[in-house]
Structure 1
């Protein structure tokens, strides 16, 4: 990779690619119209299409999954508006490299040649390094085009984001990936040795990554197969791409959010799908279990108290059996939660009670329910008038349990769903006794 940064000279044009270059490089588009799957940006009505038509680029951040064309678009943008193209990678570059790039860009600007500085993996630069771009972007020394697979909101400085337009690249769909296969077959002058079903399976296995797909195509073209492969044969021949999933990045949070909302929305099929997505991508089962427990107490609560029991039992089962057998317990808990009646009454009650406790400070409970372990405390009235509820006619005294300076509050209001319907009936019964005896 060292030659990538040598002198920061413009990269070779696509038509100079060596004949032994990888297939993905040979098929690299030579104009924006050839970029597949990103027409919402590159088309006439897209942000990039409009900029090119106007002949003037603003700085931008290209955010999208791997293999969706970020580097290609940046290079073609420079060609389209006549800018000098310089590429650096935040993985391999430091402050000295950036200073050299800016200095050379300034020298070229003096002779009327502006520079498009493409920064791959821009999110890997620290905050101070990101701030270093600002003066050169503001004075027009460079037009910054950054590429990132991470959410810019979390990974880039607010100052950088305020000076650059964030453009979102889509994961390549079936039609776009199929078009790449067509182009590869046209370049090779022969069809892929696949049955139609295997061809579809190969597209699906790419998981939206065009570069990965073309690398797989190159592997297929490099061998002499006696007959086309069916899906099973393709699976044995090629490794399926591992789904993009960083446990501490946005993909992680997107999937757990989707799982939680599918459970909350009582869609067991979708919930099971997102659970499978997480576990097959390598997520820690105990993390998922902790989140399932949270769902049980937040979204179901007393509408079905067994939801929490199921989750704790699933945790114990997983501890006992391990993986993969123990993962069936996660599936059972997930399905139980998704199909259980939902109630956030306990969750809301907690928030209301906590708020009231903070507002009322250190109010004393009424004396009748204070403990009186000493004679002095009894003499001054602690515990006086307390009624032992189990000894009453209805097992309920209706006494006041609130501080004298505070009116009774209602924090918890059960729904009429599941077990909470029975709780509501009990509360209404006790309220009736209070009114009768009051």
Structure 2
């Protein structure tokens, strides 16, 4: 029998039991639709979480002194080479970069009735606006907009409230410079930000980098070169080449490249654990549906053994019969996959445009630095995972079918 005839016969056989066929197709289609959408939603949530969380402060990657990771103090900084700006400006996929320096100091209001130890971060204001979303979270005042203010400072909302400060008030900074001498200066509060993360709102303050370098005897030095690309995966594409170019500028100091996984290990580990648990549940769901298909196939084998024996008597070889039955199963799987895949992609594409709002979850998401609107993200894994599993299951079924039908005898209808 020709292959085309076997295909036609297999297709017609599917609809001899329409109800059973459509139930099997429906189970495959619904499973595919749900998993394509859920995987797209899950991976989209991860990307949103990573990009918004990293955009808050740490950036997508940093160059640091190797000792800064364990001991983030003024001793572990680096000189800013003049050639680096030219190299960084030539990186087309680099959306923003900027230098930072940080230390700890005591802030107090002028009556000296309130004081608190805080982290002081010196930033390049113009570049920081592109690099960090903190400037967009200023709730009172502005983000270093008034150039006439001599020594401006921006504080977390709860820190300003604790120090009993309002916009325009002066406060005193007391710290230690890079040489161990006393660093004292008066600053003017120009803005307060609200990150929806109480720990940061209570202990974070920003000043201009040049003011930081002057106050803490840190001329032309920084501790972090912070970088950001348009999309997080882009950073991995040019990270090695960029770092090699920076090191080739005859820079005498050994530096360390830190990607987002190193900068935010807790976030990375949380995502990996969530992926592992999610795939466990997805695999369980797929296994249940695959067992339903296998059960349908096995019942077909039991019910049709006389039919197969007759076909063998009429001239069909056992391998042709097994191919026919394997094609029937393949048609069921492909039809279910096609319907479910199209539905899952369509639903995901819709929510990619409009986003998904989960009422009542805004405050929880804000604690992780992300907004309450989440967007799915279609990827090769989200679209191809379910079809790949079903097709591998079909190949395994085909082997079983061939084995079960290898012993069939014409006319006798011997039990399989």
Task: Please say whether Structure 1 and Structure 2 have the same fold, judged by a TM-score greater than 0.5.
Answer: no
Query: TM-score when scaled to structure 2?
Result: 0.24
Which structure features the higher share of strand residues? 2
Q: Which has the higher contact order (CA 8 A, sep 6+)?
A: 2
